[in-house]
Structure 1
Amino acid sequence: MKRKYLLLLGIIFFIAFVIRVYYDVKHHEFMINTKTSELHKQALLHYEDMIVNLEDKYISISAQFMNMDKTYEFIKNRDKDGLYNYLIHDYEELIKSNPDLHVMHFLDTKSTTVLRMHKPSSYDDDLTTIRPIVAKTNKDKKTYFGFEAGKNGITYRITAPFISRDREHLGVLEFGIKPQYFANKLNNLLHVESEVLIKTSTMKNLSYKTEFENMGDFSVITKESIFKSIRSQIDLSKKEQIIQNKSKTYILFNDLCLKNYKDEIVGKVIIAKDITKAVIENRNSLLILNSTSFIILLTCYILIYFIFTHYSKRLINAYENIQELEIAVDTDALTGVHSRTSLETFLATQVNDKDEYALIFLDIDNFKKINDTYGHDVGDTILKELTSIISRTIRVDDLFARWGGEEFVIVLKTNSLKNAVKITQKIRESINSNLFHSSIRVTCSFGVTMIDIPDNLDLVIRRADKLLYDAKDAGRDCIKSGR
């Protein structure tokens, strides 16, 4: 017998250890996934903020230029030299504040260049067919935003209709921000490395030819060293990835999309972060934690082995028998609440003073019908569920006992009949709000009274019992109280 117990205990300890290791491994995976999701969420939020801030900033700058009187005359007269000299100081200040400002471009109402501040030698070219965002702005006289490739590269465009104070439409003022702006910002904010990918098909209008490294339909515009060793493992169809390369671990995601004014994807910013140090630290922590758990379980097993060896079987059996007898006397076998014997002992030994306790009798309404309809097994289940609900509702120092059948008694510690009724109402509502055995609605009737004659408990019990039957006669599912 001893060997069987020890073998069973060893199996339990082994299973507990395996469960612990499994839990720790899953927790490790959860921590990595959480870290990935948090970084992903931060990147998306920062990216959206950058877009909004850029749009707000350059809309405001556009408005300032439109309020400069001389600008109107230079544009109307197509005086590109006068316009350039007039704005060069402001343009240089804009470059200082944002070195990634790549384009400041004035166009007329026919989408023909008046002046490129970034390249003043190039002008008078018609961009109607190759720059849809400009043509759209001229047509609708509305501000549009989005990535678009031009002759001098792809940038994030803010194109605003240039309208004079007299509401005369003179053309378009356009600003273009390099995609590297977003990558650099994300690198600094999140301590990551980023690359910019642009759809190869969108760069057909470039005035210069450059060989880019390709990733599927995309060309790599900016390169970072971290991507060299993992480029072949990057799957652009997955928003998030955890990449293992030799001894390094990286988290990567690529759904920061560069969109044109039509909300079409023309590029991506992919972000990678080296989390090798965090992974190693987490694994070392797992090793230490699981080793400690194993030692503790082994120590416990050895201690229990010695307890089994040095204590006689008879003594253990005698102790268990005493425990079982005590529980059997004080506990109702079906429901696990106090028995009627335990209730009578409590009333006889603990209730000494007048109006110190209230007595609540309760009975399940139409319980015989439940038994007849669903069977006694379901009836027993309902009794168990009912006692569980009531046990959760009453306090620890209140006594809850089964009187017999479907009838129960609560000895409530209170000196107020009003408070006793209030608590009883709470119990009644808790019962009414539950479906028993998943689908059966159950109600109870209650009789509530104060134990005002502690030296004549039989009289108090009869009074509570009568109040219970008064509740039954009143239509059930109600409370009757009195002294």
Structure 2
Amino acid sequence: MGLFSFLIIIVLFFIYKNYKKQEKLYLQTMTKNFEALYKNNAYLLKERSNIIYDSFINKEKIIKIVVKASKIKDIKSKEFKKLREELYKKLYNEYNYMKNYGLQELHFHLPDYTSFIRFYRPEKYGDSLKGVRKSLELVHEFKKPVSCFEIGRVVHGFRNVYPLFYNGELVGMVDVAYHANSIISGIERALPVYIEFIIDSNLIKKKLFEDEQKLYTKSHIFEDFFIDKDVKTFSKEAQIIKEEIQNIDKNKFKIVEKNFKNGKNFSINLKIKDKDYLISFICVKDCEGKTEAYFVIYKPDKIFGYLRYNFIIVLLTTTFLLTLVFSILYVYFWKQIEYREKLKKISETDTLTGIANRRAFIEKIKYEAKISQRFGYPLSVILFDIDNFKKVNDIYGHDTGDYVLKEVVKIISGQLRRTDFFARWGGEEFMIILKNTDLKDAIKLAERLRKVIENYKFEKVSYITISLGVAKLKSDEDIDSFFKRLDELLYKAKRKGKNRVEFE
């Protein structure tokens, strides 16, 4: 009897543990899904900003105005005022047009961080944003565009800040900013959710002009955060959810305070008016990676009810014998899964080098090519092989040849990002898939890899070199054509003397 009771307790414990694990896994999965949605929408805003910058801003007639303004010391002068009016008139129509597509702010800055003109608040200018807008300092220092969320003097925004050059000299900066609504609208229109945008109250008080703070109100749920009054709802479902949660007890959210301090994405399950809600908190970080705000996503979710129902049914219907059988099958089932996964891993791994093999590479490139061509993301591939590798085998033997292959893989792997996919194509040939990477950046990486190998001293063979071909997938290109181009580029590098990078 004692053993029977003990087994029942053990079985019930594992059933409960499994229930909590499923709940936790679901929360983690939904958190990742919403995080991906946020990042995708932020990326689309960045692409939209690039179009605005290239089409309207990065023009000589615009930049010349900024150049003239940067040379005027008296910002109250008539000449300075005239230049502001001239720039405003030149871009007014474009700014108003792009506001229909979510553009919030177009803000020009002088090289000393002085605000030249805010299209959102043209009457407010001349203040220095040094120490307030880190994005400007980064653009000023590195002379490259920066994209991040940031709170300024007048508005917060998802900003894309660009350097302005004239004759190779930095003459100013401009940021193209979008309101949180631009991200919220895309998600609320696609899913039955309501989204709040909450911002750290201390940052609002510290950064915004005092008269601009009236556009924010203290959250009735999250005491340390403000809510932007301009945030809207974009679907009937969102409005219904908003009304349902209006009188929620803020004490229910005490459990999230610790997570706020960690500044990480997370999700919880709460019952509101006897209805299960998935509430996801997606952090919004500034240019330094500090969390400044959160998207709080409320989603009525029946999954939690299903999980609880299943849990109760199992508890009520399980007997000792059924539980025992279930436990045996459960263990056997997972062993089979592990075995199949192990076999799959073996079938997709190059036994010598430990990286992906040709089969795994082909599956991966087909998938990435499909994603790239569907969503317009850049996809580049590097094909390289080891120069004169046959001589290494002939002179030093196959053991040394194997050593060289493994060492090359080790060196190259150390230079790649976690998102890059490295595979052995066959023999001494290797492939590298570079997601979200333009040809220019792929060429830079290829050249770096070539130099790293060239300067590395191998045992016995001393120094070796590699030849590389680099290509970017075209929007209408099939995989076979893409491979053919890569092969031609590699052989071109060989014909031109090896130890070089060839690209189109």
Match of 1:85 among 80, 84, 89: 89
Greater C-alpha radius of gyration: 1
Correspondent of 1:264 among 290, 295, 306: 290
Q: Which amino acid aligns with 2:104?
A: H
Report SS of the residue matched to 2:257.
Answer: coil
1:107 aligns to 2:109 (yes or no): yes
Specify whether residues 145 and 227 from structure 1 end up closer, same or farther in structure 2 by C-alpha distance, changes over 3 A only: farther
SS at 1:104's partner residue?
strand
Asked if structure 2 preserves the Cα contact closer than 8 Å seen for 1:230 and 1:243, the reply is no
Stretch moving more, 213-222 or 88-97: 213-222
Question: Relative to structure 1, is the Cα distance of residues 232 and 182 closer, same or farther in structure 2, using a 3 angstrom cutoff?
Answer: farther
Matched residue, 2:270: 243
**Mapped contact 2:56–2:94 kept (Cα < 8 A):** no
Deviation at 1:260, TM superposition (A): 1.7
**Which of residues 133, 136, 153 is equivalent to 2:135?**
133
Helix, strand or coil at the partner of 2:98: helix
Answer whether contact 1:153 1:203 (CA < 8 A) is retained: no
Q: Can you list the C-alpha shifts for 1:273-307, whole angstroms capped at 9, x where unaligned?
A: 222x344445555666776767x99xxxxxxxxxx
Q: In terms of mean alpha carbon deviation, does 63-72 or 192-201 score higher?
A: 63-72
Task: Find the aligned partners of 2:246 and 2:32 in 1 and give their Cα distance.
Answer: 21
Report the CA distance between 1:265 and its aligned residue. Answer: 1.8
Query: What secondary structure, in the 3-state scheme, does the structure 2 residue paired with 1:194 have?
Result: strand
Q: Is the 8 A contact 1:43 1:190 kept in 2?
A: no
For the 8 Å contact 2:58–2:164, the answer to whether it is kept is no
Query: Amino acid of the residue matched to residue 92 of structure 1?
Result: N
TM-aligned CA deviation for residue 268 of structure 1: 1.9
Partner of 2:483: none
Please tell me whether the aligned partners of residues 59 and 160 of structure 1 are also in contact (alpha carbons under 8 angstroms). Answer: no
2:29 corresponding residue in structure 1: 38
- Using the size of structure 1 for normalisation, the TM-score is 0.50
Query: 2:218–2:225: 8 Å Cα contact kept in structure 1?
Result: no
Do 1:145 and 1:260's aligned partners in 2 also have CA atoms closer than 8 Å?
A: no
Q: Distance in 2 between matches of 1:88 and 1:26?
A: 61
Change (3 A) 1:69 1:248: same
Which of 149, 162, 166 is residue 147 of structure 1 equivalent to? Answer: 149
Give 1:66 shift. 4.3
Q: Report the residue type matching 1:95 in the other structure.
A: K
Which residue does 2:171 correspond to in 1?
170
Per the alignment, residue 358 of structure 1 pairs with none
Are the counterparts in 2 of residues 146 and 261 from structure 1 also a CA contact under 8 Å? yes
1:229 maps to 248
Q: Distance in 1 between matches of 2:86 and 2:311?
A: 71
- Equivalent runs, 1:46-57 vs 2, <5 Å: 46-57=37-48
Q: Structure 1's 63 and 199: CA in aligned 2 closer, same or farther, altered over 3 A?
A: same
Counterpart mapping for 1:21-36 below 5 A: 26-36=17-27
Aligned to 2:195: 194
Aligned AA for 1:247? D
Alpha-carbon separation, structure 2, partners of 1:35 and 1:77: 57
What CA deviation, in whole Å up to 9, does each residue of 1:45-92 have, x standing for no partner?
222223333334323432333442321233334422222222222222
Report what 2:98 is aligned to. Answer: 94
1:19-418 to 2 correspondence within 5 Å? Answer: 26-78=17-69, 79-97=83-101, 99=102, 101-164=103-166, 166-204=167-205, 205-206=208-209, 207-210=211-214, 211-213=217-219, 215-221=222-228, 224-225=242-243, 226=245, 228-234=247-253, 235-238=256-259, 239-245=266-272, 247-254=274-281, 256-275=282-301, 277-284=302-309
- Tell me how far apart the structure 1 counterparts of residues 224 and 86 of structure 2 sit (CA, whole Å): 43
Letter in 1 for 2:28: S
Find the aligned partners of 1:201 and 1:287 in 2 and give their Cα distance.
45
Q: Is contact 2:108-2:173 (8 Å) kept?
A: yes
**1:20/1:290 contact within 8 Å kept:** no
Gaps of 5+ in 1: 1-7, 298-483
- The separation in 2 between residues aligned to 1:48 and 1:181, in whole angstroms, is 12
Would the alpha carbon gap of residues 137 and 283 (structure 1) be closer, same or farther in structure 2, given more than 3 Å must change? closer
CA shift in 2, pair 1:203/1:188, >3 Å: same
Q: CA deviation at 1:160?
A: 0.8
Letter in 2 for 1:217: D
Whether the aligned pair in 2 keeps the contact of 1:110 and 1:138 (CA below 8 Å) is: no
User: In the superposition, relative to structure 1, how do residues 15 and 247 fare at CA in structure 2: closer, same or farther (>3 Å)?
Assistant: farther
Amino acid at match of 1:237: K
* Cα distance in 1, alignment partners of residues 55 and 35 from structure 2: 31
Cα distance per residue 1:100-143 (max 9 Å; x no partner): x2211112222223222223333333333543432443344332
Q: Number of paired residues? A: 283
Q: Output aligned runs, 1:403-482, within 5 Å.
A: none
CA RMSD, Structure 1 to Structure 2 (Å): 3.5
- Rounded to whole Å, the distance in 1 between the matches of 2:162 and 2:249 is 41
- Counterparts of 1:130 and 1:290 in 2: how far apart (Å)? 58
